[in-house]
Chain A
Amino acid sequence: MHRGDPSLPADPPRRLTVALVGNPNTGKTTLFNALSGMRQRVGNYPGVTVETKKGRLQIAGRMFELIDLPGTYSLAPRSPDEMLAVDVILGQQVGEARPDVVVSIVDASNLERNLYLTTQLLELGVPVVLALNMIDIAEGQGLRIDVDRLSRQLGLPVVAIQANKGRGLEQLRAAIAATALAGAGGRPRPETPAEPTVHGDGALPPCPTFPPAFEQEVEALHQRLGPSVPRFLVRRLLLDVGGHIEKRWTDRQSPNGAAVSRDELAAARQRLAEAGCPVPAVEARTRYGWIRAALAGCVVRPAQRPVSWTDRIDRVLTHPLWGTLVFAAVMFLIFQSIFYWARPLMDLIDAGRTWLTDLVIASWERPGPLRSLVTDGILAGVGSVLIFLPQIMILFLFIAMLEDCGYMARAAFLMDKLMSRCGLSGKSFIPMLSSLACAVPGIMATRVIENRRDRLATVLVAPLMSCSARLPVYVLMIGAFLTEGHPPWVPGLTMFTMYLIGLVTAPVMALLLKRTLLRGETPVFVLEMPLYKWPSLRTVLRRMTDAAWAFVYRAGTIILACMIVVWALLYFPTTDAEGRRYEERIARLERLDPQTPEVAAEVRRLHGEWKARSLLGRVGRAIEPVVRPLGWDWRLGMAALASFPAREVVVGTLGIIYDVGDVDPGEIAETPDVRQTELGQALLAAEWDGQPGRKVFTVPVALSVMVFFALCCQCASTLATIYRETRHWFWPAFTFTYMTLLAYVGAWGVYQVGSWWLGT
């Protein structure tokens, strides 16, 4: 065994941890990617919806763990999500070591405000390295920053960097290593240095000091709560009216069981107001006062702020008319691409699945449960997961580019007025719009919404938007029952109405949710417009692959499981009333001559009989009384049940159950005349069991089926994605329940009104 470096402590060197903290739009993610390289992983914590990213950082042969904490303007936690950063830095997050160094990344062109967060880090007593990012842009605006003087006056290592170009990263690495090793000697770090140390040009304390009257109140509370409670949190308890710590420690109890009542807090705040340090003004005054002193003489500004590129671009892009036109064009491009660019890739994935299935069937001659599980369960399931990837990756390509170049905030600004009418903010627009193509990427796109309630509301209503999977159902029903014998405008109007159902229901439901289940104080809609810049290829690719991986890994496994369960319900039992196996009967027939029409018809009849006898078929019969008010027979009910993994499956199931064989929903969607297809013919001819001459499908029934599929959540992928994004089973269960109820009531209403209207 080798002896350690003499400059290091004698103990085996433990892994040192570096945390990255900064305001949104400071290039934090770019810096993280630049420092950690390609190997990253996502850290999740219970009860928290935000993710942290983790990576490794090697400096001079020593490994550091790098944590990217969510972007924030301050460490004044208002929610469990915001508390995460505080807990990690204080070393109170279970499973995380207290960081040895915090890199505070700031936007060099907006130092004063960015340093607000830095002062809170200093108060936490953790060693801080300041990274002045986007120094080139600041210089381009005519700002001159004296980095050495700033470092002396702040009492911190300060490094000017350009994270996107990799400039200054070597110095930053060196500063991180030096600071980490200086603090890693085992000496416990005081949370707030007791003695103001004199440094730099004057006697500026190492972090902002609150007025004595304030500290007295903090001291009194600290005594009550006990010394194990970090003083920083006691200050936050006093400063953040209605904040997370106040809620946590007054509703329940503080970590030591010493509860503080709301009245006591109110009284303390009242005393502070009388003493001339009202909450929360005292914090802003104290911090900005210290920042001004620390910045004195370090920053030289031009007498006249030059008109920047961002100003010029914004004159057009935030303009009520021109900006909206550009926005509409961008949205059209995104929409078009998730609809049409993704198509060839999706077809390719589908063709690959078919090829593999044929290969399995060809090389595995004996039919049986295992072969069926592989082809109809696993391969179909994996195919239905992968089929989403083109849309997800294309949507995230756009989202990442729009976000990285700074346009996303402008889009949210332009759409805010519209979206505020349904209780949401402008940030909900793109997720909702994307859901018109597919709810899965749409729900994943809600990650751009910081406000938890807004995000949840958007996630819960996004599946109401009419996605492309509903199209085959609409085309089948309209094509078969609403074309011949109807005026030529009927099919178009019906299709339009189906889309309108989602476009109207989603905002109304969002408003309803925001008023009931997701009620809470209106979020402060303050949105920062970052500077425009060229999107970084690396960041964009990273977001795309992250989104794809998150979907495959988390949602994909659930989708696959669902597919296999439904496969089993449709596969078993495998024998007819006389105990003969369907697979053998079918195989025997196919060996005869599958080309003969009589044989082919018999094969399809056997497939239909088998599905009707399956477990799901039996459930379908059992629930017939439930679907009767919608005008449905048990076949429709069973097809709706079988379509739980995905809506379009209903088309294939109807094909099998009406003895016309498996029907590809994509082909139905592209058929010029549905009435000429076998499925169309079968549906037109379908009659109620035991009631010869009574047709199953009438116009009201067709409408009832369409309305049901417009509003229901028969989509395991959507539900799995909701689970993945909310990390709780309640939300997908809730979505499924409310949408199914809505669909049932809607279909019932349409059928009843339609029957009365048409007198059938």
Chain B
Amino acid sequence: MSAAVTLEFLLPLELLRSGDWADVAEVQGEPAWVGRLAELGIRAGSRVRMLRHGSPCLLQVGDARLSLRGEWAMQILVRPAAGPQPPEEPA
């Protein structure tokens, strides 16, 4: 139909349902904010799990649980990971 079909399936983190796993594809927005999230372990390539969706949402990042407001969660684009719980594998 259009070029969009061939694009990767990315969606904002906010749209994940509780219990979903995903890989972060891109963190958009102000550099200061992108840097702050990277310090907390949220950056392209990291695996996250939505523990409780909504605003603020609750995320599992590595072995930490982080809470994030909706307007910020919109700026994180993720690629949903299929299946239940793939263990995080260091690259």
Q: Which chain A residues have a beta carbon within 8 Å of chain B's beta carbons?
A: 73-74, 76, 78, 107, 109-110, 112-113, 116-117, 141, 239-243, 279-281, 283-284, 288, 292, 295-296, 301-305, 310, 314, 318, 320, 409, 412-413, 416-417, 420, 426, 521, 524-529
Contacts and interface: CB of A to CB of B under 8 A. Distances in A.
A279 B31 contact: yes
B17 interface: no
A417 B56 contact: yes
A302 B85 CA distance: 12
5 contacts: A117-B39, A240-B35, A318-B58, A320-B54, A527-B67
B55 A526 contact: no
A73 B44 CA distance: 18
Given A78-B32, A524-B72, A113 B40 contact: yes
B87 interface: yes
Interface string B48-66: 0001101110100111111
B67 A416 contact: yes
Given A74-B39, A113-B62, 10 more contacts: A113-B41, A281-B38, A284-B35, A302-B87, A304-B87, A305-B85, A526-B36, A528-B40, A528-B66, A529-B58
B66 A526 contact: yes
A301 B87 contact: yes
Contact of B85 (A141, A242, A304): A304
Contact of A112 (B37, B62, B65): B62
B34 interface: yes
B34 A281 contact: yes
Contacts of B51: 314, 318
B43 A284 contact: yes
A528 B64 contact: yes
B58 A73 contact: no
B39 A76 contact: yes
Contacts of A426: 56
Pick the most buried of A283, A292, A527: most chain B CB atoms within 10 A of its CB: A527
A78 B39 CA distance: 13
B35 A292 contact: no
Nearest to A110: B63
**A interface SS class:** mixed
Contact of A526 (B35, B67, B90, B91): B67
Given A524-B36, A529-B58, A113 B90 contact: no
A109 B64 CA distance: 9
A376 B51 CA distance: 59
B31 A280 contact: yes
A133 B87 CA distance: 23
A417 B90 contact: no
A231 B62 CA distance: 32
Contacts of A78: 32
A527 B54 CA distance: 15
B72 to A, nearest CB: 6
B32 A240 contact: yes
Contact of A116 (B39, B63, B85, B90): B39
Contacts of B62: 110, 112-113
A413 B58 CA distance: 8
Nearest to B58: A318
B67 to A, nearest CB: 4
Contacts of B43: 281, 284, 288
Nearest to A278: B31
B65 A420 contact: no
Contacts of B40: 73, 113, 526, 528
Nearest to A412: B67
B52 A318 contact: yes
Contact of B69 (A109, A116, A420): A420
Interface in B6-43: 30-41, 43
Contacts of B44: 281
B39 A73 contact: yes
Given A110-B64, A112-B41, A318-B52, A280 B35 contact: yes
* A-B interface, 8 closest residue pairs, ranked by CB to CB distance from nearest: A284-B38, A280-B35, A241-B31, A529-B65, A113-B41, A110-B63, A527-B67, A74-B39
A528 B65 contact: yes
A225 B32 CA distance: 23
A141 B68 contact: no
A704 to B, nearest CB: 42
Contacts of B69: 416, 420, 525
A320 B34 CA distance: 29
A292 B34 contact: no
A314 B18 CA distance: 13
A417 B68 contact: no
Contact of B56 (A281, A288, A303, A413): A413
Given A281-B34, A526-B37, A529-B65, A416 B56 contact: yes
B51 to A, nearest CB: 7
Pick the most buried of B33, B54, B68: most chain A CB atoms within 10 A of its CB: B33
Nearest to A73: B39
Contacts of B56: 413, 416-417, 426, 525, 527
Pick the most buried of A107, A113, A116, A304: most chain B CB atoms within 10 A of its CB: A113
Contacts of B67: 409, 412-413, 416, 525-529
A310 B38 CA distance: 24
Nearest to A409: B67
A524 B33 CA distance: 7
B2 to A, nearest CB: 29
Contacts of B54: 320
Contacts of B35: 76, 239-241, 280, 283-284
B31 A242 contact: yes
Contact of B90 (A107, A117, A295, A412): A295
B58 A109 contact: no
Contacts of B58: 314, 318, 413, 529
Contact of A109 (B55, B61, B63): B63
A314 B67 CA distance: 13
Contact of A292 (B36, B65, B68, B91): B91
B31 A525 contact: no
Contact of B66 (A239, A304, A529): A529
A120 to B, nearest CB: 10
B32 A241 contact: yes
B30 A241 contact: yes
Contacts of A241: 30-32, 35
B16 to A, nearest CB: 16
A412 B90 CA distance: 32
B86 to A, nearest CB: 10
Nearest to B90: A292
